[in-house]
Amino acid sequence: MGDLLVVGSVALDSVKTPFGQVAEALGGSATYFSFAASFFTTVRVVAVVGEDFPGEHLSLLKSREVDLSGLQVSKGKTFRWVGEYGYNLNEARTLDTQLNVFGNFRPVLPDALRKTPFVFLANIDPDLQLEVLRQMARPRLVALDTMNFWIEGKREALLRVLAEVDALLVNDAEARQLAREPNLIKAARAILGFGPRIVVVKRGEYGALMISDSHFFFVPAYPLESVFDPTGAGDTFAGGFMGYLAKSEATDVDAIRRAIVYGSVMASFTVEDFSLHRLARLKPEEIQRRYEAFQDLIRFEI
């Protein structure tokens, strides 16, 4: 079993959907990622919170044996995000972002973390993503998430870090924007030319698509009758994906296929409730049951 490191955000999210709302609930990319991945392997979080960060949230992460030795507690307030979703639940409307301590975040890795073999660079400034990589000792597999904000505003830095990662996880629009190509498959192939050997396109309710030089793989989203809040689904997907790979210490294409299904499984739980509420009551046997349900969802005979 290989260990897994994530650098990203830990946040307090206020979210409203047509099905309810939460105020200052636990959120952030590193949070969703690490909680999901903790069902598979040991996860180490590199992030920052303010002095106001509630102890109960730390306890929740510790209850899953998430390693918080890389979590900085800085003078000031924790990163806050306020957003809402309409009925289609596809895209969040950001109402407010307060970076707070996250605005001055400089990831510094404790020595004990520098040799972690599996690394996920969640969606933060690509310069910081590169700073983290520079502190690592030859990780076995590095995956990276990013967004339109960095693709537009920090393209050069993003291309520098992309050249050093194995897998990119983005959505359709981000892949097209990054490659400057409207056809998704051509866009993914162009991105393979930037460095990664795998591009995973996250499509929300439409599932996920993996493209490598020699393989395509597609998995649908799990058909759910009740979706409450899509916040964190992408980071949860990444947590299941990287968690499974780290656990199995494998990076071959068949392992990557299974990892994408585990990512989809974990994401399908997160959206069933607000914040990490569904993950917090998730039982390992539910993961395996839903993995098998995915198999049934797509099987057909030649």
The binding site for its own copies (CB under 8 A) comprises: 18, 87-88, 182-186, 189, 203, 205-207, 209, 211, 216-220, 223-227, 254, 257-258, 260-261, 291-292, 295-302
Beta carbon nearer to its own copies, 32 or 217: 217
Min separation Cβ 292 and its own copies, Å: 6
Question: Which amino acid is present at 48?
Answer: V
Min separation Cβ 64 and its own copies, Å: 25
Beta carbon nearer to its own copies, 92 or 136: 92
Beta carbon nearer to its own copies, 157 or 173: 173
Beta carbon nearer to its own copies, 233 or 261: 261
Min separation Cβ 85 and its own copies, Å: 12
Min separation Cβ 212 and its own copies, Å: 12
Beta carbon nearer to its own copies, 18 or 153: 18
Min separation Cβ 89 and its own copies, Å: 9
Min separation Cβ 167 and its own copies, Å: 17
Instruction: Give a three-class secondary structure readout of the chain.
Output: CCCEEEECCCEEEEEEECCEEEEEEEECHHHHHHHHHCCCCCEEEEEEEECCCCHHHHHHHHHCCCEEEEEEEECCCCCEEEEECCCCCCCCEEEEEECHHHHHCCCCCCHHHCCCCEEEECCCCHHHHHHHHHHCCCCCEEEEECCHHHHHHCHHHHHHHHCCCCEEEEEHHHHHHHHCCCCHHHHHHHHHCCCCCEEEEECHHHCEEEEECCCEEEECCCCCCCCCCCCCHHHHHHHHHHHHHHHHCCCCHHHHHHHHHHHHHHHHHHCCCCCCHHHHCCCHHHHHHHHHHHHHHHCCCC
Rounded distance, CA 66 to CA 120, Å? Answer: 15
Beta carbon nearer to its own copies, 96 or 225: 225
Beta carbon nearer to its own copies, 115 or 186: 186
Min separation Cβ 220 and its own copies, Å: 4
Q: Which residue in 162, 139, 135, 147 sits closest to 46, CA to CA?
A: 135
Rg (CA), the chain: 18
